[in-house]
Amino acid sequence: MTELPLIVQQDHTVLLETQHPDYEQVRDRLSRFAELEKSPEYVHFYKLTKISVWNAAALGETAYGILDWLTANSRFPIAPQLLQQIAEWHRRYGLLQLVAKSDQLCLRSLDLAVLQKLSEHPSVRNLLRPIRSGGYRVAVADRGAIKQALARLGYPIEDLAGYTDGSELALSLRSETAAGRPFLVRDYQQAAAAAFHRGGSDAGGCGVVVLPCGAGKTVVGIKAMQLVQANTLVLTTNTIAVRQWVREVLDKTTLRADQVGEYTGEHKEIRPVTVATYQILTHRKTKLDAFLHLDLFDRGGFGLIIYDEVHLLPAPVFRATAGIQARRRLGLTATLVREDGRQDEVFSLIGPKRYELPWKLLERQGFLAEAHCTEVRVPLSTERAAQHARVTPRQQFRIASDNEQKHLVVAALLRRHRLDRVLIIGQYVAQLQQIAVVFKLPIITGKTPNAEREQRYSAFRLGELACLVVSKVGNFAVDLPDANVAIQVSGTFGSRQEEAQRLGRILRPKCAGQHAHFYTLVSDDTREEEFTRKRQLFLAEQGYSYAIVQAAEVMAQNPADQWS
């Protein structure tokens, strides 16, 4: 008889056997309420946390459903204390509710003893005023602050206080794009927008939609705009992404060009739909000066704020978001992983996870390209190995990342994929510039002017360029649907979200079911290997595995000296 696939430990760690026949099914269910932490070959380590359980509750998971499933799939009995902790975390979701009452905000709970105890905590005391009917009055200006404070204490607030409507905006979706191509919102995109909107009720209107890169999160945002029918502010990562949003809105809705504006360092247009960068909102002349554009939230009559790539939300925008809790807020992301650990801020200020689909499910349905991931181990030269041995750990990572031997592997891979559309992507500009020079390839970095970036991206989309070198500016919101090969030569330490975003650059479905190939080049027996394991965690949770090969194997099959 096959043993059960899970071992649930008292420290909230869940071990999943990857060789178990039910591995994929169990992984998909477990990831709804636990977070992947480590992924060695045979056993993956997950962690049960209050945020993961709260998000599961927001997705409709019941406490009984979680506990019963864990118990049924655990190889050994689960400690009663752990089961009680999970049940308690789940119970707390929705235990506190914020409602509007006579033009005031009221914090209420069916468990008045808990509410009274929380009201005495130093971080909460000054935000609450008792009222005769029970519960506590909350100042409108403190709506975000009380949600943050209580989430940190382990008691999330269900915000039912409603929203300001904003200026009305009549917006319809086209049945065909402005270019004449048929346009249809996919079923899962409809479902994601509906899960956020919830029929316009006070129970909806805030939260995060998690969909893979290439699955059409922009369309989800546009569908949400159509449901809300109000002026909308879209925040995204860079000027290129801003212009892509503008193009998509004009292409797929009935809005006119004079109704959609760009708010960036180059243009300051406030229109019914305004698309801005996080950078412009956080711009200030010096570190001691005020942020010059954060008041954009309060201009334009916005009834909906869309946070694209919400996992990148900078701290000043968190603070500003705390003050605009009366606006509907939609976060879009491929992963809720935040390397700064501020998932609780996203939960309390943007909202809980409202919708998520596994990457591999969309791959099986044909909405994402099938991707093959390969980790290529590249040796250090004798000289560089000696240098690596005598420096600090941080310096070791840079020396390993910038390994010049990787150029030989790049050459071999370019030879292998000479008929494909290839992105070479990395962290260090000097390394990328050298690759661009050696292979005579165009390059895009943070210093490339926006007009030049757009021209090169456009040339790649049109097939005029078969290969493009991009720095980390290419991690996010770049629409290159025909890219089918990515060669990652270096990355940002152990960034899981960066790994996911880079794979996402090549996941748009290809003609005739063509596969995507993602190569990550790693210096053998170095600090880079350690960080690579961390980078791959999120994708491992989504069902991707990395074939590990040696550089010599790649070069033997595709000799570098054949590059031309």
3-state secondary structure 149-168: HHHHCCCCEEEECCCCCCCE
Closest CA to 59 of 48, 69, 51, 67: 51
The answer to whether 278 and 312 are in contact (CB under 8 A) is: yes
Q: Which residue is listed with tokens 């019914």?
A: 272
CATH class, 365-562 region: alpha beta
Read off φ and ψ for residue 261, nearest 5 degrees.
-120, 155
Closest CA to 493 of 534, 464, 453: 534
* pLDDT for res 107: 95
CA 272 from centroid of its chain's CA atoms: 26
Q: In whole angstroms, how far apart are CA 274 and each of 32, 259, 267, 437?
A: 34, 8, 11, 39
- Which ranges of the chain have pLDDT less than 70? 1, 284-294, 338-341, 476-478, 493-494, 512-513, 560-564
Q: In whole angstroms, how far apart are CA 119 and each of 89, 96, 124?
A: 19, 12, 6
* pLDDT for res 563: 42
- Which three-class secondary structure state does DSSP give residue 474? helix
Q: Two tokens at 81?
A: 């204390």
Closest CA to 351 of 93, 31, 114, 89: 93
Q: Which residue type occupies 270?
A: I
Q: What gap in Å lies between CA 16 and CA 42, rounded to an integer?
A: 8
Q: What gap in Å lies between CA 497 and CA 273, rounded to an integer?
A: 28
String of DSSP letters for 237-260: SSHHHHHHHHHHHHHHBS--GGGE
Which residues make beta-bridge pairs with 230? 168
Cβ partners under 8 Å of residue 410, min gap 6:
424, 435, 439, 487, 489, 521
Q: What is the CATH number of domain 187-357?
A: 3.40.50.300
Annotated domain spans of the chain: 6-92, 96-160, 187-357, 365-562
Q: What gap in Å lies between CA 406 and CA 142, rounded to an integer?
A: 53
The answer to whether 282 and 191 are in contact (CB under 8 A) is: no
187-357 and 365-562 share one CATH topology? yes
Q: Two tokens at 545?
A: 């595995």
Closest CA to 158 of 101, 246, 97: 97
DSSP 334: S
- Which three-class secondary structure state does DSSP give residue 295? helix
Burial bucket for residue 3 (CB in 10 Å: 0-12, 13-18, 19+):
exposed
String of DSSP letters for 83-94: HHHHHHHHHHTT
The pairing of beta strand 13-17 with beta strand 43-47: antiparallel
Q: What gap in Å lies between CA 469 and CA 423, rounded to an integer?
A: 6
* pLDDT for res 562: 46
Q: What gap in Å lies between CA 508 and CA 215, rounded to an integer?
A: 8
* pLDDT for res 560: 60
Read off φ and ψ for residue 399, nearest 5 degrees.
-60, -40
Q: What is the pTM of this model?
A: 0.87
The answer to whether 105 and 157 are in contact (CB under 8 A) is: no
Q: What gap in Å lies between CA 519 and CA 531, rounded to an integer?
A: 16
* pLDDT for res 73: 96
Q: Is the dihedral of CA 236, 237, 242, 244 positive or negative?
A: negative
Burial 171-210 (b: 16+ CB within 10 A, else e): beeeeeeeeeeebebbebbebbbbbbbeeeebebbbbbbb
